[in-house]
């Protein structure tokens, strides 16, 4: 009897699986359509969305011993997104911190394999920008 009951359950679940799969496909199509619609919308200068797009290139300030020493000489370190370039980082610093950068250098630190407490792991890579400011300009991260 258990065999017959399990077969009935399987046949009952097959249409449900088909409905769920169709729902997932339709959701994916809607998401793709929404992304395309967002990409087509023009952005006017000075709007809030422009500021968030420019500021999106900077993820966070990178605060380490070395960056603290460099900041005394007017060079500040930031973690940036993978698709950021020098001009977008300079624009983001200008809008967020109200200072004009003189020079921007970008470094890619690759991911590293590590062995800690008997287990293998990966330390994620980071992309960082070194932003040089004019003498006298300063950024406070408080």
Return the exposure string of 119-140: e unless at least 16 CB atoms fall within 10 Å of the residue's CB, then b: eeeeeeeebbbbbbbeeeeebe
Could you say which of 3.30.465.10, 3.30.43.10, 3.40.50.450, 3.30.70.330 is the CATH number of the domain covering 55-133?
A: 3.30.70.330
As a whole number, mean pLDDT of residues 98-122 equals 96
Evaluate if residue 69 carries a pLDDT over 70. yes
Mean pLDDT of the chain: 78
Residue 142: its pLDDT value, please?
Answer: 74
To the nearest whole percent, how much of the chain has pLDDT over 70?
62
**Strand stretches in the chain, DSSP E:** 58-61, 75-80, 101-109, 112-116, 119-123, 126-133
Write down the domain spans for the chain. 1-41, 55-133
50-to-30, 45, 138 alpha-carbon distances in Å: 25, 7, 24
31-54, pLDDT tens digit by residue? 444 444 444 334 444 445 555 567
Q: What pTM was computed for the model?
A: 0.60
């Amino acid at each position: 009897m258990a065999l017959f009951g399990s077969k009935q359950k399987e046949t009952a679940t097959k249409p449900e699986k088909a409905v769920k799969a169709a729902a997932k496909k339709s959701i994916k199509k809607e998401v793709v359509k929404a992304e395309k619609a967002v990409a087509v919308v023009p952005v006017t200068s000075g709007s809030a969305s422009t500021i968030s797009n420019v500021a999106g290139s900077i993820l966070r300030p990178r605060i380490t011993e070395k960056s603290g020493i460099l900041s005394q000489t007017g060079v500040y370190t930031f973690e940036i997104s993978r698709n950021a370039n020098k001009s977008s980082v300079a624009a983001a610093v200008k809008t967020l911190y109200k200072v004009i950068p003189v020079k921007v250098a970008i470094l890619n630190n690759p991911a590293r394999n590590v062995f800690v407490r008997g287990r293998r792991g990966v330390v994620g890579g980071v992309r960082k920008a070194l932003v040089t400011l004019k003498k006298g300009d300063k950024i406070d991260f408080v």
